[in-house]
Structure 1
Amino acid sequence: MVRYVCLLLAFVLLSSMVLPDATPDANMRRADKAYAKADFAEAAEWYQKVLEKEPENVQALYKLGISYLEMREPRKARLCLDKVNKLNPQFGQKVIVNLAEALHQNYEFEEAIKYYQQEIYGTGRADWNYVEVIRKRIEECKAGMDLLKQPSVAQVVNLGAGINSADVEFSPVLAINDSVLLFTSHKAPEGPEQIRISNKKNNNWQTSKEYLPATNTKAGHAIVTVSPNGKVLYTYSPADGLRSYDESKNSWVNPKPMPIPLNQLANESSVHITEDGQYAFFASDRPGGFGGLDLYVSQRFPDGTWSAAINLGASVNTAYDEEAPFVDFQTKTLFFSSRGHNTMGGYDIFKSEMRDGKWQPARNVGYPINSPHDDLYFTLNKGRTTAYFSSDRPDGMGALDIYQILFLAQ
């Protein structure tokens, strides 16, 4: 009997400690704490627990919707935010633009435009800069509607678990006759960056591994390209800008800064060296450009120095960012990513051909290569049969994944 009473008391005490944690208020506090730390996956779990008991809790629904947006799950975000808008139209103007973003990211462009326009009407003339941002979103949706009508020229495939993970994988680079894939990986959102390598075997990419041991690396550097002979590796870091590592000299511990004008007290975030080694195309936000990051070109002189950089002009650059140049030397075609032109959202991949000494107006390479998300770091194989790029589109394995483009026969 005494044993039974003790067990009963223990059960009561245990219940008194557990029950408060199971209340919606306790779950909401846990959710809000994770949300404040930008741990949106954990926050979503706790908001879902709140909604199991309080399915019309508008605050939980709204923050769950934002968490899904941050986790690149626009379909789920749309359901949450649409319910918030229906339950409480007075909840706040902010839900309108977030709902528009969810629709935009989910390719529901026409519906997204309606909510973006509603956001403009609600904002009025008080903040013209913000209104211009929303107007650009509307133009992106219109571009998306047009691009979806065009015939597809490619199939896009995620490279899978041998390359991608729940972390961030980006900036694929092909080397050694396209038999080697180098790329950068880091823990989201701000973990240390690590250059990784995968070898092709029987036409399949093998599980990647570290390119260099941790004891022989320069922390925080991401690969951006390799030299035509495959012996020099070029990297970028916010602290050091563009640097070069000559494999034959084992100089990785102290990589050399790229020379002026490729490093010029500005943010030079990417570079591509042409097949003949004579031209460097790079991104920079130096003064005198069109706005944000612009693309420039510099020519190498016989003595190894580089000419003054030339801005590629209005056919390529816009008031927004242009990034990650890649040049197909044989066809004189420049591929790059841009937030401007007729992007359908985020960065899209564009191309421009050199004709009669001039870069032609940039053209969007189309859907499904591009999406309403960030599509960057295009690199083409030598046979022009396939290409690779990075994207944070939904249904990937992590924040940024590496995808392969399989061009369709025309």
Structure 2
Amino acid sequence: MRLRNYLLTSIILLTSLPVLAQYGSQKKADNLFNKFSFVSAAQVYHNLIEKDFNADYATRQLADSYAFMRNPDSAVVYYKKVVEQPNVPIAYYYNYAQALRGVKAYKESRVWLKRYKKAGGEINDEKFLKDSDFINSIFNAKQQYFLTDVNFNSKYSDFGAYEHDGHIYFASSRNTGVSTKHIYGWNEEPFLDIYVTDKSVNDSIIDHKSKLKGDINTIYHEGPITITKDGKTIFFSRNNFSKNVLGKDEEGMTNLKIYKASLIEDEWTNIEELPFNSNDFSNGHPALNNDGTKLYFASNMPDGFGGTDIYYVDINNDGSFGKPQNLGNVVNTDKNERFPFINNEGVLFFSSDGHPGLGLLDIFGTVSDKDNNIISVLNLGVPVNSSKDDFSFFMNEDGLSGYFASNRNGGIGSDDIYAYDRIPQLKIEGTITDITTNTPVPNAMVTLLDSNNKEIARLETDDDGNYEINIDRDTDYIINIKKDNYIEDTRQVSSKGLENKVRSITADFNLNRIVKKVTPITELYPIYFDFNKFDIRRDGTVELDRIVNLMMNTYPSMIIKIESHTDSRGSSKYNDKLSLDRANATYKYLVDKGVDPNRITEYKGYGEQKLTNDCDDTMDCTEEQHQANRRTQFIVIKME
């Protein structure tokens, strides 16, 4: 059995195969947590604690959930229980300290902050620690997002990446391959068009041939977009341009409007302007919720809170639209809120330069209460946000990957698209097999323990001998395997030192059956070899023929393995080969006599590694003493 040890650091998740109902609940809660649905996640974590199932882990997750719901009173209660747990990650000392600040327990908060630093925690930004908004401090206590480059950015502006049905749609001002170039005077770059590329194609060359087919792109700005789940309708931003006429307000300015189009024979056509647009203000950056019943967008329409705000309209069953509704002052400020996105759990993400951030536009997520009212916003922190503009956030359905755009330093163009991954759930998985038959062992009991032998979780292997348990990162574990009629096996496993992108580590187990003495045969006698030879001697054939008779007639279920050895004379390398030749010769003799090869689990040479006496290279031994080491032994694995 080969065990691969890896490492990690992140939010802690513990789940397993849904063999028991609790494991299904654990997985459900973790998925909700990953997607910012903290209210629903908290309800499931409560149930798990009541059932005493992975209670330590569920308590940690519950404490974090209450913190993100801006409920420091409840967060403090559960963080207090968390920090009393053995071997708890030190990040929870920090979280507890921040939650204590949330209830104005400043003296006790300083105590736990000192414990965090003493345990090795780093606190670099003192100004951030003084921030009265403890929820952002907890959320950004450690890095949760990791960036990867995309290969289709250009030297111009690229943003608004949106993934649908294996394709990535985005807005770009590139003009590669275009004969007539229209330049936008504002930034001296070409006007934006919408492009699409196959996600599976690793090709950085995206030119005019990749523009969206149909009637959407014009000589003015288009993008970003959102698409209905069935893929038949697209909503997009565009300059106020319809029927080849550029619309303007009273001051001669051209605003943004939202349009929709239909997919007909692989082309987007039937362009329609949405009814709540106006020549006098901008509507843009459309985003659909999960079931397509609401369309979110940014607008500077009158009577907002200032700048651009986030609004939504209901989409009725007949396709008509309701009246625009402002999301209120928890989301909107007197500055600019733009680029809304709704994940499949109904959580809103947006960009703002009005909420406290790292500079210019930052990306925020929202937290809602049990009635789906937005009660707070979370700054997603570095590296998603920077000192420059960060915007057009998108999250895939897994809640762990997506895209955003930024004009930060180090990019290729004026705006660039970045892909991100959140630290994924880490699991340990493996297969339990019978070492003799190499067949799966179903219903074996797998118990996960911490480094102090405290049980964390247990489950049974499935019909194929497989198991799977989600584990914490940067932690040492013990795995114990039990099964009736098998010898118990226990191994140490570590999740320390693993790269963040790794999602699983493997620990397979091969179990030995307990051999029951059902025969008077207590041993099979060894056979011996001449010096520097591997031929079977005449005296060896006597014992081998006896073994053949026992296996074929007396004990038809008996299973053995073969171990061959040499004396110490000669080099170790040579003796390893000689012992293997002796093992092969022994195996061949038994098989040629009719023994089923499947009943010999192993035939292996050990060279001079297992001498029966002290006759190593430092001793002057007799030939009789050396002879005792030139042998093949037979080990009974199963006799019943």
The TM-score bracket by the shorter chain reads 0.5 to 0.7
Q: Which of 250, 268, 273 is residue 283 of structure 2 equivalent to? A: 268
Closer, same or farther: CA 381–296 of 1 in aligned 2, 3 Å? same
1:233 counterpart residue number: 234
Cα deviation digits, residues 356-410 of structure 1 (max 9, x gap): 2311211101111100111110011111120101111111111000001111147
Q: Which of 245, 248, 262 is residue 264 of structure 2 equivalent to? A: 248
| Structure 2 unmatched runs, 5+ | 1-125, 175-186, 242-256, 426-640
Q: Please tell me the residue identity of whatever aligns with 1:173.
A: Y
1:194 is displaced (CA, Å) by: 2.3
1:170 and 2:184 matched: no
Closer, same or farther: CA 388–216 of 1 in aligned 2, 3 Å? closer
TM-score w.r.t. the length of structure 1 is: 0.59
Contact 1:236 1:270 in 2 (8 A): yes
> In structure 1, the residue corresponding to 2:264 is in which secondary structure?
helix
In the alignment, the residues of structure 1 paired with residue 295 and residue 268 of structure 2 have an alpha-carbon distance, to the nearest angstrom, of 21
Closer, same or farther: CA 288–251 of 1 in aligned 2, 3 Å? farther
In the alignment, the residues of structure 2 paired with residue 257 and residue 395 of structure 1 have an alpha-carbon distance, to the nearest angstrom, of 38
Q: Please tell me the residue identity of whatever aligns with 1:228.
A: K
> In structure 1, the residue corresponding to 2:199 is in which secondary structure?
strand
2:145 counterpart residue number: 154
Cα deviation digits, residues 209-267 of structure 1 (max 9, x gap): 5233699842322232222222222221232411112112777566211222x557421
In the alignment, the residues of structure 2 paired with residue 214 and residue 307 of structure 1 have an alpha-carbon distance, to the nearest angstrom, of 28
> In structure 2, the residue corresponding to 1:244 is in which secondary structure?
strand
In the alignment, the residues of structure 2 paired with residue 385 and residue 307 of structure 1 have an alpha-carbon distance, to the nearest angstrom, of 33
Cα deviation digits, residues 290-319 of structure 1 (max 9, x gap): 101101121122222122121111110001
Q: Please tell me the residue identity of whatever aligns with 2:218.
A: K
- Bigger Cα displacement from structure 2, 151-160 vs 391-400: 151-160
Q: Please tell me the residue identity of whatever aligns with 2:262.
A: D
Contact 1:182 1:195 in 2 (8 A): yes
In the alignment, the residues of structure 1 paired with residue 214 and residue 290 of structure 2 have an alpha-carbon distance, to the nearest angstrom, of 30
In the alignment, the residues of structure 1 paired with residue 266 and residue 391 of structure 2 have an alpha-carbon distance, to the nearest angstrom, of 30
> In structure 2, the residue corresponding to 1:307 is in which secondary structure?
coil
Q: Which of 377, 398, 401 is residue 362 of structure 1 equivalent to? A: 377
Contact 1:199 1:206 in 2 (8 A): no
Cα deviation digits, residues 85-128 of structure 1 (max 9, x gap): xxxxxxxxxxxxxxxxxxxxxxxxxxxxxxxxxxxxxxxxxxxx
2:107 counterpart residue number: none
2:360 counterpart residue number: 346
Q: Which of 387, 391, 394 is residue 402 of structure 2 equivalent to? A: 387
CA-atom RMSD in angstroms: 2.8
Closer, same or farther: CA 308–211 of 1 in aligned 2, 3 Å? same
2:167 counterpart residue number: 180
Closer, same or farther: CA 151–259 of 1 in aligned 2, 3 Å? same
Q: Please tell me the residue identity of whatever aligns with 1:242.
A: I
1:198 counterpart residue number: 197
Q: Please tell me the residue identity of whatever aligns with 1:310.
A: Q
1:337 counterpart residue number: 351
In the alignment, the residues of structure 2 paired with residue 358 and residue 345 of structure 1 have an alpha-carbon distance, to the nearest angstrom, of 27
| Structure 1 unmatched runs, 5+ | 1-140
1:211 and 2:226 matched: no
In the alignment, the residues of structure 1 paired with residue 282 and residue 189 of structure 2 have an alpha-carbon distance, to the nearest angstrom, of 19
Contact 1:143 1:344 in 2 (8 A): no
1:207 is displaced (CA, Å) by: 4.4
In the alignment, the residues of structure 2 paired with residue 255 and residue 327 of structure 1 have an alpha-carbon distance, to the nearest angstrom, of 24
Contact 2:153 2:413 in 1 (8 A): yes
Closer, same or farther: CA 284–370 of 1 in aligned 2, 3 Å? same
- Bigger Cα displacement from structure 2, 293-302 vs 145-154: 145-154
Closer, same or farther: CA 157–304 of 1 in aligned 2, 3 Å? same
Contact 2:193 2:218 in 1 (8 A): no
Contact 1:389 1:402 in 2 (8 A): yes
Q: Please tell me the residue identity of whatever aligns with 2:403.
A: Y
In the alignment, the residues of structure 1 paired with residue 330 and residue 263 of structure 2 have an alpha-carbon distance, to the nearest angstrom, of 37
If each structure's helix is expressed as a fraction of its own residues, which one has the higher value? 1
> In structure 1, the residue corresponding to 2:402 is in which secondary structure?
strand
Where in structure 2 are the equivalents of 1:16-55 lying within 5 Å?
Answer: none
Q: Please tell me the residue identity of whatever aligns with 1:281.
A: Y
1:294 and 2:295 matched: no
1:58 counterpart residue number: none
> In structure 1, the residue corresponding to 2:189 is in which secondary structure?
coil
In the alignment, the residues of structure 2 paired with residue 211 and residue 270 of structure 1 have an alpha-carbon distance, to the nearest angstrom, of 19
Cα deviation digits, residues 154-191 of structure 1 (max 9, x gap): 1112213xx10111111111111xx1101011056431
In the alignment, the residues of structure 2 paired with residue 376 and residue 166 of structure 1 have an alpha-carbon distance, to the nearest angstrom, of 18
Number of positions where the alignment pairs a residue of Structure 1 with one of Structure 2: 263
Contact 2:215 2:271 in 1 (8 A): no
Closer, same or farther: CA 215–234 of 1 in aligned 2, 3 Å? closer
